[in-house]
Amino acid sequence: MSFEIRPLKPQDEDRVLQVVADLYRAHPHLTGFQWPSETLRAEFRSSEGWGVFQGGRLASFVLYRPSPAVWEISVVACHPEFWHHGLTRSLLSHLVVVKPADRELWLEVHEENTRAWRLYESLGFQRVGIRANYYPNGGTAWLYTLR
């Protein structure tokens, strides 16, 4: 299997929505915020992003908003058929390399999303705060940064 990491382009919008739709269909009880398609579409159009592609198929992606001091990651998702292939780890590692050295990465994750926060911590992200009752289910968001 050959994969390519590249910036997301406007024509990738439907691919992003499909990854998330397939993810929710395969795992309807995912912990954390579940993006309604119109909200995700708006986020895609107002963010920058990178994706891991196999041919023309999007396997994993990350959306973020750049600012002068930080890149705030808003969405990280991997198609369920590509779980356990290390693609999201590779993608986030790539993001660490391409971001300007003077910018931090920020993200938040549901406290019960063990797979996600273990991945972030293994990449060097540090938990720096919490947002209690942040998610619709009353869950707490853990705030992470990578300098």
Per-residue confidence (pLDDT) for residue 27, from 0 to 100:
87
Per-residue confidence (pLDDT) for residue 64, from 0 to 100:
97
- Residues serving a catalytic function are 108, 120
Amino acid found at 94: H
User: CB atoms < 10 A from the CB of 30, how many?
Assistant: 14
Per-residue confidence (pLDDT) for residue 38, from 0 to 100:
95
CATH of domain 4-103: 3.40.630.30
Sequence-ordered alpha helix ranges (H) in the chain:
13-26, 37-46, 87-98, 114-122
In angstroms, rounded to a whole number, what is the distance separating the alpha carbons of residues 113 and 30?
8
In angstroms, rounded to a whole number, what is the distance separating the alpha carbons of residues 130 and 128?
7
Q: Domain ranges for the chain, please list them.
A: 4-103
C-beta of residue 52 within 8 angstroms of C-beta of residue 91: yes
Counting as low any pLDDT under 50, the low residues of the chain are none
Question: pTM value?
Answer: 0.94
